Structure 1
């Protein structure tokens, strides 16, 4: 990338010949005067005076010259510590009408940018003239024009442009008006429509330190509002880098429950975030709960969450561990009940969405039911066909022969190659020899009996005789054989043969016929051809193959599955109607936060302001809540008549992954496939969640947050800088981006990373070779901004508003020097290019190692 370069001024064209040096204070010439030497008609050189336009000749500039304004018009939360600026596409625009030459690379511009409080000025925008900015006290609101040269510069390297800045310290939460106004008196008078003395030789600055009220024409103006104090660097630096002090669970007590359940005291209800010691409840509680869940005759038994998904009860010794822990541990039963409550709170909206998805399911089930009817009716026909003899079955099913395979070929091909003519299986043959037809009554022969006799070679069927070898027919002579006959004649006959018949003379055709006759005489005599022997049909095998292929259990199922794509289903009737569940992709974490943020992170109110912490996710809590939500949704679907077998998993997303470009789309797989313990089935497993409470992400929502691999350097851990040519999707890439995120009003943001907590912490011993990971908050990239740090810097060479001198109007005062720091290049002897480099606000990044963020005590 090309580096930006700053220049204190830019001139082009004849303006480069101006020789009068800018005194930097006081008046400048009204117009620049140059002497141009020329020769007329070959005579001697003559000097001609030329006057260039000055500030008093300008009434404005084209708005298309404006490239960028910061803060932009109507910005609601501009950073108070940044300079206001405006950029122009023409790199020499600020000095275009300055009638003076640079003084030691310092040159006052003919226009300046002023920023004033909106409540202390008025703006009159009369039609046909420039808006008039009326300032009550120039000393209180306007910058010192003796330092105007310091706040205009040109930028090159990434495109040429010019820039005006206003080095005023702004107040937080205040509306301001920014305007580009003339810097010299003649320009001010011209812009206001006042008389301009054409004979004037100098022009004073538009205002001085003693000016009171003043009217200024505004070539360009806009308004904005500043936000709270502090820029990204200040807000990010305020974050407290320590583990959370909030507990990882909410205290709860179990008492006075029915069914002989024992009381439990001193327990904690976990949340979706935060590690929590997980001892098992007393065995007597689990035993009593299992008995209560299986109590016979109880009209309102407690819900047995998840048991319909796997068709087992928690008391079943073969039940998986997750089902027993979920239903027999009061903490996770409570989490499942939370999930069920989330469904009950939104059941009407959820059912409306489910029925919208049921349209395709109902259409598929209609086809499946029709297929069952077709299979049943076809089965009755098939049973009757199975009673027919083989030869009669072959006649009845003749229409299927081209689509039924036997021995790798169709039945029709086998019949065509046999001694039974294909016509004997056709419809005309069956009609002629129908059992009660006249021919059958006179001859006593039936179609099936005659076919059997032919197949057994008791009756021979006369077939068309074969053509003897060597026979030449007229068609052959007029076609393919014609070319071969021409080859044995002389050239003349060959030419005659290629001549169209309609154009040949009688003599030519006579010669051709003579040649053909001679060829016929020379041919050998025809030999009789015996017809080839044809095999008999294997009627039993054909009967078996035709019956198998015509079985409606096969044909109807294949036909239907060619039209429908059905979800995986347990073994059974392939035409059973679909018992499918709808799919809801809304993450349940949103509803859980709306119910109570404490369910996501217990004790979240205890997080201190401007703090950042890292917490592991709680897979067991998430799985328990998701199971409860799916259990309740399936029960509601059944109650509302939705086609479901209560084994579906309508909810598969807990975390909000809408802003993620990596990681799985779902948090849990289908519940009916779970086999391990509770917490073993999340697609991401246990992950790390970064929790930030403060204004930084609220003020800067485009902040880039990621995890960076650490490395050891001189005994301390530093982030790994990725190779620009490396593929971010490749394994081992040193940066990891969030896989889920969310927010809790008013100021808490959490972001999840696919990192194991122990891996993120690393090992503090360099010899272990496990430096862990950093969490990084990086200021969003933007166009160049200028300004000063909001607070006192840590380093003795950094600039902040606390260290610079300011005028009565809160503008930077270069002549006043610095307090407490030493910055080479700062002061009235410098150039605007140096000041631009010193005040450029580079993107800020803060890196915090994970080991500094995890809580040390979760009790």
Structure 2
């Protein structure tokens, strides 16, 4: 079983694999029509008889013995059943759980790394077959027309090229036998480490419905599946294939398994990624033109206001902006006299809506004349003025001051472009006001239920804390008393129910106690038996006048250990036996005393002096007296302080409660009323804005050509203006509907979508788009990200079929020359239907492009590693096999000839072995690297 050294590093492909008795077959096992047989040499062994050698030939199953397969043998199909967009440049395939399944019943022996499978996979169009109903003795069958037999099947002698074994480990060994042994051992240990695969070599046509059929590859198997009699099957040669190189007429095949799929017209990941290209100069200019064409006429905005400047129109803002867009000077920062006058008039109008604070010591001035209409008074003719966005988040009276042009409140309300952004937020809430308020009431109901739970927990906390301070703390502080030993045992026994959950020195306290000489002395049972006033202490108290067991145990001497002393005396006696020989008497030799004693012990049933000494010496340590009072005890201060910190209710109950509260809730131990939770709407709010008009996301975004990628910048000022409008209008709804929530809460904080960002699940606060508006204070608009780092972030716009077909594509930025150490994953995403994806990163344009001292970044699109595929590239390539290279030889809906000159001339082809064919056609996950500098034309 040779192995391919050129197989991919993560996988090992084998050309074939056989396991079990079939490996004993040799050339004598092959017959023309008879079943394949294996010679066995067995030893027959009987009681009292000489072993006899028995030679027998055992027949093994072949294709003619198979009338169906268990569907559980199939673990996966490529593509899966029902798929409607399978890449037409890939080959369909089927995988089996057993690593030797395709060759298990093949009536051949392997030769030169080749072994033909006993079953075959074909993919047919709807018009190429007709179904036959099964009978009592046959499988479901299909009749394949003659045209399909010519195009959908390869030459029968090349089927070896399309079956292989797939292993998920590297095969090691110096010889084929060692490698075979290693493979068998790995598969015996874990059968899930490998599978077998059968590939259909038919080139698929785009946009076509196919049905894949698993059928017999040998004529005997075809006849058996159709329910033919045994005599008919046995009359067929074993090597006869189920189809011929040139069939005339149609033919019926039994079907072991089938599934349907439809091919795509778009292409595979590699081809779709390769189509992406940066915007051309003309396309960038068109995008800029669309951005600059969105102007707002401010000459006569209403309420009697009139702009007398020369411009008369200002550019509108959007959430994203092209890199080449010229930065405009906001009208609030203009030094032109007409602009200043216009801004002053806007502020006067807006401030009319600010309520006058009554002060008895300083009565209000008389009502001024209506500045917008002649001969009228504000009190007599009140007018409705535009809203002051964000007024709920400023102290009363929230008047705007044109001089404070670095205050977000002034910038937002006096700049008409930002007011438009805020008005879109207002319109979003107004459109779905009932839905938002229903959700707010639902959250309030849940919050009130949570508050009831918090109050009960707070009561439990206070009671537990009092009990802890009164009962437990004095017990834990008792190590300073004179009876340290007793306090230690009693304290630890009292804490017995908590031993399993306590940790001391990073180890389980219960496990630590089990290592003590007498661990049961720390149990509740021992504490109960030795309690003061108990029966045991009362009986012992007759000898010693005390009421505590530990004082008695320390005062009364332990009784003598008779057994231990007896063993010691015996061992001493045995060690003292003399070994000298006595003088002979009257010429007779007298045996040594040692031998006499040794024989005496043996006569008594012992084994001898040396054995007795060894056994008794080994027994002595197990019968000597051990006192629990000498058991080692942990240092008191460390032990008690550790226990106190782990069971203090102020810590444990508070932590437990906080873990079950909503993430946005807060809990104070000092007061149950300190718990607070106000309505939150965490969904990304760019969606309703894009539904109103995609121009608010990026003007001209719909005109970007397909299969383009470009870099944009975020516009924090616009986004914050929009978010203020959302929250301001929701506060107005609270006020109108008398909803019990503070009007300065921030319910909307998420503009972009962060649900695909893994880190956002662990730290959602860091991935919000704005801080709570009440914390903004006096600061510039667009300077309120949660991390405090104010900068325009880059956004990569991708439009094309790639992310539409492969929505789970892995996207990230990688810094040049840093290996895998400098990688940034998306900070947020957004999707504009039908095929535009916006991917934001925490990088500025300057950082992404790089400079001589800091390398730039690559934008990377990576195909997710998952289902394994085999096929060839759509576009002709000199490095990888491609369909155009053999298009004359293999047109659509025809089969690859693995032995043809055209196939052998493809890149990466090495030899006629199925494992090397698999390695050549294996489609590795594709990655596209785009330098950020290519996306910028400055």
For the criterion TM > 0.5, the same-fold answer is: yes
Deviation per CA, 1:109-155: give whole Å up to 9, x if none: 11111111134323345365422122112113333322111101112
| Count of residues in Structure 1 that have an aligned counterpart in Structure 2 | 635
Q: Which residue number in structure 2 is paired with residue 669 of structure 1?
A: 771
Q: 1:678 aligns with which of 755, 771, 781?
A: 781
Alignment of 1:129-144 (within 5 A): 129-137=138-146, 138-144=149-155
Deviation at 1:679, TM superposition (A): 0.7
Contact 1:29 1:99 in 2 (8 A): no
Q: 2:244 aligns with which of 195, 208, 216?
A: 208
Q: Which residue number in structure 1 is paired with residue 35 of structure 2?
A: 31
Q: Which residue number in structure 1 is paired with residue 10 of structure 2?
A: 3
Q: Which residue number in structure 1 is paired with residue 712 of structure 2?
A: 615
Task: Check 1:815–1:629 CA distance in 2 against 1; reply closer, same or farther (3 A cut).
Answer: same
Deviation per CA, 1:720-764: give whole Å up to 9, x if none: 332xxxxxxxxxx5111112112111111112112222211212x
CA distance in 1, matches of 2:260, 2:388: 63
More helix by share: 2
Deviation at 1:42, TM superposition (A): 8.5
Q: 1:304 aligns with which of 372, 378, 388?
A: 388
Contact 2:120 2:198 in 1 (8 A): yes
Q: Which residue number in structure 2 is paired with residue 185 of structure 1?
A: 219
Alignment of 1:624-639 (within 5 A): 624-639=721-736
Q: 2:858 aligns with which of 748, 752, 774?
A: 774
**Once structures 1 and 2 are overlaid, which stretch shifts more, 172-181 or 36-45?**
36-45
Contact 2:451 2:675 in 1 (8 A): no
Task: Check 1:734–1:824 CA distance in 2 against 1; reply closer, same or farther (3 A cut).
Answer: closer
Q: Which residue number in structure 2 is paired with residue 83 of structure 1?
A: 91
Contact 1:22 1:108 in 2 (8 A): no
SS in 2 for 1:101: coil
Alignment of 1:572-651 (within 5 A): 582-644=679-741, 646-651=743-748
CA distance in 2, matches of 1:15, 1:222: 31
Task: Check 1:28–1:628 CA distance in 2 against 1; reply closer, same or farther (3 A cut).
Answer: farther
Deviation at 1:840, TM superposition (A): 0.6
Deviation at 1:231, TM superposition (A): 0.6
SS in 1 for 2:749: coil
Deviation per CA, 1:71-127: give whole Å up to 9, x if none: 111122211111111111222221112111223212211111111113432334536
Deviation at 1:338, TM superposition (A): 0.9
Deviation at 1:260, TM superposition (A): 2.4
CA distance in 2, matches of 1:190, 1:629: 73
Q: 1:562 aligns with which of 659, 671, 676?
A: 671
Q: Verify: 1:15 aligned to 2:27, yes or no.
A: no
Q: Which residue number in structure 2 is paired with residue 818 of structure 1?
A: 902
Q: Verify: 1:314 aligned to 2:400, yes or no.
A: yes
Contact 2:29 2:39 in 1 (8 A): no
Contact 2:64 2:233 in 1 (8 A): no
CA distance in 2, matches of 1:338, 1:689: 22
Alignment of 1:247-286 (within 5 A): 247=288, 248=291, 250-254=293-297, 255-258=299-302, 259-262=304-307, 264-265=311-312, 267-275=314-322, 276=325, 277-281=327-331, 282-286=339-343
Q: Which residue number in structure 2 is paired with residue 832 of structure 1?
A: 914
Deviation at 1:349, TM superposition (A): 0.8
Structure 2: segments with no counterpart, 5+ residues: 1-7, 170-192, 332-338, 353-369, 371-377, 453-540, 547-554, 557-667, 761-765
Q: Verify: 1:695 aligned to 2:781, yes or no.
A: no
SS in 2 for 1:782: coil
Q: Verify: 1:102 aligned to 2:102, yes or no.
A: no
Q: Which residue number in structure 2 is paired with residue 755 of structure 1?
A: 843
Q: 1:147 aligns with which of 149, 155, 158?
A: 158
Q: Which residue number in structure 2 is paired with residue 799 of structure 1?
A: 881
Deviation per CA, 1:421-442: give whole Å up to 9, x if none: xxxxxxxxxxxxxxxxxxxxxx
Q: Which residue number in structure 1 is paired with residue 934 of structure 2?
A: 852
Deviation per CA, 1:454-485: give whole Å up to 9, x if none: xxxxxxxxxxxxxxxxxxxxxxxxxx9x9889
Task: Check 1:566–1:825 CA distance in 2 against 1; reply closer, same or farther (3 A cut).
Answer: closer
Structure 1: segments with no counterpart, 5+ residues: 367-479, 486-493, 496-558, 568-579, 712-719, 723-732
Deviation at 1:165, TM superposition (A): 0.2
SS in 1 for 2:122: strand
CA distance in 1, matches of 2:742, 2:40: 98
Q: Which residue number in structure 2 is paired with residue 232 of structure 1?
A: 269
Task: Check 1:319–1:208 CA distance in 2 against 1; reply closer, same or farther (3 A cut).
Answer: same
Q: 1:241 aligns with which of 259, 275, 278?
A: 278
Task: Check 1:752–1:64 CA distance in 2 against 1; reply closer, same or farther (3 A cut).
Answer: same
Deviation per CA, 1:617-656: give whole Å up to 9, x if none: 1101100111111111111221122235532222111112
Q: Which residue number in structure 2 is paired with residue 458 of structure 1?
A: none
Q: Which residue number in structure 2 is paired with residue 358 of structure 1?
A: 444
Task: Check 1:484–1:326 CA distance in 2 against 1; reply closer, same or farther (3 A cut).
Answer: closer
Deviation at 1:841, TM superposition (A): 0.6
SS in 2 for 1:270: coil
Deviation at 1:855, TM superposition (A): 5.5
Task: Check 1:2–1:21 CA distance in 2 against 1; reply closer, same or farther (3 A cut).
Answer: farther
Deviation per CA, 1:244-282: give whole Å up to 9, x if none: 722345512314322323175453222111254131223
Q: 1:287 aligns with which of 321, 344, 350?
A: 344
Deviation per CA, 1:582-611: give whole Å up to 9, x if none: 322222111112212221121101211011
Q: Verify: 1:65 aligned to 2:101, yes or no.
A: no
Q: Which residue number in structure 1 is paired with residue 617 of structure 2?
A: none
**Once structures 1 and 2 are overlaid, which stretch shifts more, 284-293 or 842-851?**
284-293
Q: 1:121 aligns with which of 115, 129, 153?
A: 129
- Normalised to the residue count of structure 1, the TM-score between the two structures is 0.68
CA distance in 2, matches of 1:29, 1:265: 98
CA distance in 2, matches of 1:5, 1:483: 81
CA distance in 2, matches of 1:706, 1:745: 22
Task: Check 1:831–1:284 CA distance in 2 against 1; reply closer, same or farther (3 A cut).
Answer: same
Task: Check 1:33–1:361 CA distance in 2 against 1; reply closer, same or farther (3 A cut).
Answer: closer
Deviation at 1:235, TM superposition (A): 0.7
Q: 2:429 aligns with which of 336, 340, 343?
A: 343
Q: 1:706 aligns with which of 779, 803, 812?
A: 812
Contact 1:806 1:816 in 2 (8 A): no
CA distance in 1, matches of 2:9, 2:142: 40
Contact 1:143 1:809 in 2 (8 A): no
Q: Which residue number in structure 1 is paired with residue 61 of structure 2?
A: 53
**Once structures 1 and 2 are overlaid, which stretch shifts more, 638-647 or 675-684?**
638-647
Contact 2:899 2:912 in 1 (8 A): no
Task: Check 1:18–1:290 CA distance in 2 against 1; reply closer, same or farther (3 A cut).
Answer: same
Q: Which residue number in structure 1 is paired with residue 201 of structure 2?
A: 167
Task: Check 1:261–1:21 CA distance in 2 against 1; reply closer, same or farther (3 A cut).
Answer: farther
Contact 2:219 2:236 in 1 (8 A): no
Task: Check 1:209–1:318 CA distance in 2 against 1; reply closer, same or farther (3 A cut).
Answer: same
Q: Which residue number in structure 1 is paired with residue 488 of structure 2?
A: none
CA distance in 2, matches of 1:790, 1:64: 35
Task: Check 1:821–1:565 CA distance in 2 against 1; reply closer, same or farther (3 A cut).
Answer: farther
Contact 1:139 1:808 in 2 (8 A): no
Task: Check 1:98–1:303 CA distance in 2 against 1; reply closer, same or farther (3 A cut).
Answer: same
CA distance in 2, matches of 1:632, 1:44: 99
Alignment of 1:381-420 (within 5 A): none
Task: Check 1:63–1:21 CA distance in 2 against 1; reply closer, same or farther (3 A cut).
Answer: farther
